[in-house]
Amino acid sequence: KKLALASRNTVIMGVAALAIIIVIAVIIAYLVVRRSSALNHAIDSMAMLPYIMPGAVIGIALVIAYGKRPFALTGTMLIMIMSFAIRRMPYTIRSATATLMQIPLSIEEAAISLGASKVRTFVKITIPMMSNGILSGAILSWVAIVTELSSSVSLYSNRTTTLTMQAYVYIGRGEYGTAAAFAAILTVIT
């Protein structure tokens, strides 16, 4: 029962966090590369801070921010998803930004000059051309999300446990065989 719950939670929270990461990373990459300004570079720098911050710090900060009413989210999937997205977004941002830097602006300008709107050009031209960078960043983020432990320790509950957390709990109890089973499933998902 714990294995099924932890597997389901890992996949659901991982996919949700990854979807959030991809959307935000593409927007930040576009702002930094195509709409360069001091504000956009500040947003980029702030988005990269979780890369150097320990996960426990982010977990504790989320508990402090969302531990009391009216935003009592501690122990919910939502706070876990927030944690995963915050912690692992820098991978996809860097990858998407690097890919967008290699796409000539003249391609977008050509589409606009042929009558496409800026939004249509972004969705139909720019994003597909960025897809390899987005995918590689998403893969890095996925692996880091499903194996996240440091922020999860302070945020999980019995209902929101993940495979990594369950393996950690069983290792702490000295039940290495059970922990190995959780780790094997985690390896397959990764």
- pLDDT per residue as tens, the chain (190 positions): 888 999 999 999 999 999 999 999 999 999 999 988 999 989 999 999 998 999 999 999 999 999 888 888 888 999 999 999 999 999 999 999 999 999 999 999 999 999 999 999 999 999 999 999 999 999 999 999 999 998 888 888 889 999 999 999 999 999 999 999 999 999 999 8
pLDDT, tens digit, 9 for 90 and up, residues 42-59: 999 999 999 899 999 999
Distance CA 42, CA 48 (A): 10
Contacts of residues 36-39 at CB distance under 8 Å and 24 or more positions apart, as own/partner, are: none
| Mean pLDDT, all residues of the chain | 92
Contact 41, 54 (CB under 8 A): no
Contact 105, 66 (CB under 8 A): no
CA angle 147–150–153, rounded 5-degree value: 100
Distance CA 35, CA 48 (A): 18
Q: How far are the Cα atoms of 5, 91, 102, 151, 182 from residue 2, in angstroms, in the given order?
A: 5, 30, 46, 20, 10
Half-sphere exposure of 63 (CA within 13 A, CB side): 14
Q: Which amino acid is at 128?
A: P
Q: Is the pTM of this model over 0.75?
A: yes
Element (H, E) at 82: helix 77-101
Contact 55, 93 (CB under 8 A): no
Helix axes 77-101, 127-146, angle to 10 degrees: 140
